Amino acid sequence: MRIPVLMILLTAPLLAATSRPEAPPTEATKPRIVSTLAMDPESPREIVGWWSDGRSLIEVARDGRYRRWNDLDRFDRPSDVGRWHRENHAVFWLNSYLLPAPPPRRVALWLRDDLLMADVARLKTAFRHSVTPPRVPSDDLVGRWRGPGGELRLDPDLTYTWSRGETVDVPIAITSQRGRWRLLPDGRLLIEPFAMNQRPMIRVAILDDANRIVELASDAGGLRLQPPRPRTPANPEAPARETGKAPGERRPDHP
């Protein structure tokens, strides 16, 4: 009597499962096609450089650090800094230094017409990789400014160095100055000396018709941005030798 009872108990759930009505199929979200298969795991794509979605910016530095901005102005203070590490040819991670520490951001790589793209966790739009950052108005100021007012060097790290061009007999005259610079959103140039007891030697910016800074003024005179020096080749080619005889070359004696 025990065997038939056990058979009835075992078959009852099977009958209940087969008699359950089928649930209506739910509409699944369309999967995203990612071209990671086109990337060779043996030759990972370079991720060091600049990533932008057109509205924000991420710098992935070669020393293992990263910086992120909520806009495209990399001269502004970044909204997030931290370190990064690569998991494989298609994924790397961003670990923030912010406190309290947010969860790491997973960055998934994919290709769009051979352009390296990335989906960053918790960010809606895709980022595109570039070797150089997008150009912003502050880029037009970086470089050496020269003129009667001396020489001014505006560096990308937002520091400046100014030196007076002409000699002054007055003992209290300032002959050089160092400090910080910044281009404000309204287009004004902010100059702040490191020495608190000094006044900025560059005080006036002259604009063109397009409201771009084309000249800087000081007590000693004006300064204009100088064109960059031409780069000399690392391995210049030797001048081609003429096909004639070299100077001083002796002719062979004829019998």
pLDDT 10s digits, 33-80 = 455 556 788 889 999 999 999 999 999 999 999 999 999 999 999 999
Whole-angstrom distance, CA of residue 24 vs CA of residue 1 = 42
Mean pLDDT across the chain, nearest whole number? 81
Q: Assess contact for 156 and 138: CB atoms under 8 A.
A: no
Confidence of residue 107 (pLDDT cuts 50, 70, 90): very high
Q: Please tell me the predicted confidence (pLDDT) of residue 255.
A: 47
Residue 95 class from Cβ within 10 Å (0-12 exposed, 13-18 middle, 19+ buried)? middle
pTM: 0.69
Residue 21 pLDDT greater than 80, yes or no: no
Residue written as tokens 């209940």? 16
Confidence of residue 228 (pLDDT cuts 50, 70, 90): confident
Q: Please tell me the predicted confidence (pLDDT) of residue 43.
A: 85
Closest CA to 202 of 157, 136, 156, 147: 147
Q: Please tell me the predicted confidence (pLDDT) of residue 1.
A: 47
Confidence of residue 182 (pLDDT cuts 50, 70, 90): very high
Superfamily of domain 35-130 in CATH is Uncharacterised protein PF14869 family, DUF4488 (2.40.128.490)
Domain boundaries, the chain: 35-130, 137-225
Q: Please tell me the predicted confidence (pLDDT) of residue 167.
A: 60
The percent of the chain in helix, strand and coil, each rounded to the nearest 5, is: 10, 35, 55
Kindly write down the DSSP assignment for every residue of 8-24, as one continuous string: HHHHHHHHHHHTSPPPP
Q: Which amino acid is at 103?
A: P
Confidence of residue 241 (pLDDT cuts 50, 70, 90): low
Q: Please tell me the predicted confidence (pLDDT) of residue 10.
A: 41
Of the two residues 16 and 127, the one the predictor is more confident about is: 127
Q: Please tell me the predicted confidence (pLDDT) of residue 211.
A: 83
Residue 236 pLDDT greater than 70, yes or no: no
